[in-house]
Amino acid sequence: MKFDGITAALIIIDIQNDFCPAYTACSGEKLPAGALAVADGDKVIEPLNRFAQVFADKGAAVIATADWHPPDHVSFASAHPEKKAGDIVDLPAVKGQVLWNPHCIQRTRGADFHDLLNLGPVHSILRKGFRRDLDSYSAFFENDRQTPTGLDGFLKGLGINAVFLGGLATDYCVYYSALDAISLGYKTIVLTDAVQGVGYPPGSVEKALDSMKSAGVNLKDSGDFL
């Protein structure tokens, strides 16, 4: 997709059952809220579907990311005796890792994309956080801030120099992906009507938005481009 001389890709971040509220699946199955459900997390789906279809119609790149954790992943509180979800620990590769409830475990329903997310426009799926001892918030780098996911090389191989980001959550995976995109030289736009935040710790969403804006990320409603 070209906008004012830039070639852009859309990156849809972590629209998975474990990050979404309870809902009724297309099969009629009633799914409970995910292990790390983001309040109103499912409200990002409609604008993302609409935006992704425009990209697909133009033959532009649409990438979806997904957490893909082993059952004993290092970011799970259950992997640390006497620790609980929300605690912060220092790991060999990462200082200040937040511990979470087990979520997006490989080959489970919680790791599946939300049924209402239209995967038709998506031609590439990036799974991250699959290494047992290393978490991954960003679509570009693991949490050690050194190990690449491969997305940067993929995008640059396609001649892409701008990225639109939407998904979950504003203050974690969207935030880190946006900052990394800026640092890698991409014009970066976060679609404000297509993100929702965790809000942990309190104030984290506002802080993330301010930090992204200060770093040069454009915060725009998807309607500004459609």
Does residue 57 carry a catalytic annotation?
Answer: no
**Which one of 128, 135, 171, 187 is the catalytic residue?**
128
Non-local (6+) Cβ contacts of 4 within 8 A are none
Dist. CA 194–CA 196, nearest whole Å? 7
**Which one of 135, 173, 180, 187 is the catalytic residue?**
173
Single out the residue of 106, 167, 92 nearest to residue 137, CA to CA: 167
**Which one of 14, 18, 42, 171 is the catalytic residue?**
14
Does residue 173 carry a catalytic annotation?
Answer: yes
Other C-beta atoms closer than 10 Å to the C-beta of 45 total 22
Does residue 2 carry a catalytic annotation?
Answer: no
Enumerate the active-site residues: 14, 128, 173
